[in-house]
């Protein structure tokens, strides 16, 4: 049941980010929840592969390249999910940072990560 709460929180977070950040558009709550679900699947399957493939670059940049990998995940989800659009790599990087911050705050407020 926690996974459903997590998806809803990330969906709400995506809506907040679309309100804050120009170039980051979510057309409805349904699109946000679908984007959150697809983002979770992509992060579970594609992201680890990219991290392994780009490990030397990540080490050279002291981990900063992971922001680019997160942005690529957002751009990939944007290409797949209708109603969720991210325009540009820099928008995706800033959007992923804001999503992480807002999502952490909401998870703390609602206690979703508590066991």
Name the DSSP class of 114: -
Annotated domain spans of the chain: 2-110
Which pLDDT band holds residue 14 (cuts at 50, 70, 90)? very high
The answer on pLDDT for 107 being more than 90 is: no
Q: Given this model, what pLDDT does residue 114 score?
A: 54
Helix (H), strand (E) at residue 25: strand 24-26
Which pLDDT band holds residue 75 (cuts at 50, 70, 90)? very high
pTM for the structure as a whole: 0.89
Q: Long-range contact list for 21-25, CB < 8 A, 24+ apart?
A: 21/91, 21/94, 21/95, 21/98, 22/91, 23/86, 23/87, 23/88, 23/91, 24/85, 24/86, 24/87, 24/91, 24/92, 24/95, 25/84, 25/85, 25/86, 25/87
Q: Given this model, what pLDDT does residue 113 score?
A: 65
SS3 state of residue 54? coil
């Amino acid at each position: 049941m926690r996974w459903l709460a997590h998806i809803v929180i990330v969906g709400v977070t995506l809506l907040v980010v679309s309100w804050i950040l120009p170039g980051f558009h979510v057309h409805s709550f349904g699109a946000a929840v679908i984007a959150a679900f697809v983002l979770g699947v992509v992060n579970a399957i594609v992201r680890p592969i990219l991290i392994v493939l780009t490990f030397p670059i990540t080490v050279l940049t002291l981990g900063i390249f992971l922001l680019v990998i997160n942005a690529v995940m957002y751009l990939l989800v944007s290409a797949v999910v209708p109603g969720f659009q991210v325009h540009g790599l820099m928008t995706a990087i800033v959007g992923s940072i804001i999503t992480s911050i807002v999502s952490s705050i909401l998870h703390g407020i609602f206690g979703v990560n508590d066991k």
